Amino acid sequence: MSFAGANINKLNGGLNRQVSSDRVIALICGMTLPGGMSFNKAYELLDITTAEDLGITESSDDTNDELVHFHLSEMFRLSPGTTFHLIPVDATQTVAALVASEELKTAIRSVDGVNVLGFAGLDTTVTTADADALSFQSLVSAFEQEHLLIDGIFVEGVGDALGIEVTAYSDLRELSAPNVTYVIAQEPAQAALKASYAVRAAVGTALGSVGVRKVHEDIGSVDIEDKPRDRRGEENYSLTDELLGRWLSAALCDGKTFKSLTPAQQSSLTAKGYMYVGSFADYSGFYWNGCPTAVSKESDYAYFNLNCIWNKAARIIRRTLIPKVRSKVPTDPATGYIKSTWISGCESDVLSALDSMQAAGNIDGKDIYINPAQAPSEDTPLSVKGQLVVGKTVHEFDVDLGLTDKL
């Protein structure tokens, strides 16, 4: 017998840090660089302390009239255990110049599996949302050519210091930017700290709300399917944190309080495709109004979570089919069609790969079909048809309730 006494074995995995490819989120932020950091370089952040070690603190926010630390702290507060990425950029650039920057694109590519982007610290005002939304969508389209699928871009809408009427907000639903969402929610306690914050929006809160949810969940859901450990047992997943004094109320990015908005104005903002925060009468907490995108409501991709579902399936199908590229496709000599056994095997492989999405609740069903009457060649791709069954989202209830003297 020795005198070791007690051997302590180091375990790993207890923090349940998320490394799932479902949510790989990067905040692209116009900001003043702390010493040692560079523009257009991605920094991996494990928690808010990692950011503070880089020199991004509440004090630096105050000194530089920025909200970088606030955005990051909200991301980790709402989605603890998630690994986020930060890409600093020069805030003086126009949106068009920024999204065309090869340096930025290289930085985004360097984040393995990145699929959600947030833009903050720029002068992306709600009055110029139309043109900027199309510029952001062009970035998504550029990456799509490289088979890098971006589920969504969340843009910090900056309000007009003079204030504009809610009815004067442009209609984002008239655009063709199905992967772009404008965040115009403002956390009033933070906005009250400095005049420079008074026209800013809480895009970090939106990204944290994305990180904590599954692919199919609407960002406006009152509850979530998998809560962080310290909030299990709660009946909802409100943005409100009374201890920190956050989201005890809500406003738009020009300072208009949610409580000052009429029901018609609230409906107008949602109908026009803006993402803001509000509350329900006689129910505690503050919540997002949903996750609309800048495209017609009739589009299949009018909401962020629907883009997430399609993109996840596309990535899975692509990974499943690539090993079959340039492989032999056997032909039935009697018909000249592709052999049914090969087709059934290929269809089965794809359906099996999509089983993970059905098990996770991302989809409710799926179907894959390959027409045997095809002649694939170097110039003619083999055509595969796929369909996904997605669940419905309840946005409100309409209850008929009456009084009676008997049942």
The CA distance from 372 to 336, in Å, is 9
Within a domain: 245: yes
My answer on whether 291 and 330 are in the same domain is no
Looking at residue 283, its pLDDT comes to: 95
Within a domain: 216: yes
- pLDDT tens by residue, 271-301: 999 999 999 999 999 999 999 999 999 999 9
- Write down which residue in 295, 314, 346 finishes a domain: 295
My answer on whether 369 and 240 are in the same domain is no
Average pLDDT of the chain to the nearest whole number: 93
Looking at residue 160, its pLDDT comes to: 77
274 near 287, Cβ under 8 Å? no
My answer on whether 232 and 353 are in the same domain is no
My answer on whether 387 and 283 are in the same domain is no
In the chain, the number of structural domains is 2
My answer on whether 46 and 133 are in the same domain is yes
Looking at residue 128, its pLDDT comes to: 85
313 near 305, Cβ under 8 Å? no
Within a domain: 20: no
Within a domain: 98: yes
Looking at residue 1, its pLDDT comes to: 47
My answer on whether 83 and 215 are in the same domain is yes
pTM of the model: 0.92
Looking at residue 125, its pLDDT comes to: 84
My answer on whether 95 and 150 are in the same domain is yes
Looking at residue 397, its pLDDT comes to: 86
My answer on whether 335 and 206 are in the same domain is no
Looking at residue 124, its pLDDT comes to: 82
Name residue 186's beta-bridge partners: 251
The CA distance from 154 to 107, in Å, is 18
Q: Average pLDDT by consecutive 10-residue portion of the chain (407 residues)? A: 56 52 94 95 97 97 97 98 97 94 98 97 87 96 96 94 78 97 97 95 98 97 94 95 97 95 94 97 96 96 96 96 93 92 95 95 96 91 94 88 89
My answer on whether 291 and 332 are in the same domain is no
Within a domain: 271: yes
Within a domain: 78: yes
Within a domain: 9: no
Within a domain: 317: no
The CA distance from 221 to 130, in Å, is 27
68 near 31, Cβ under 8 Å? yes
- Tell me which residue range forms the domain holding 145: 25-295
My answer on whether 143 and 187 are in the same domain is yes
106 near 146, Cβ under 8 Å? no
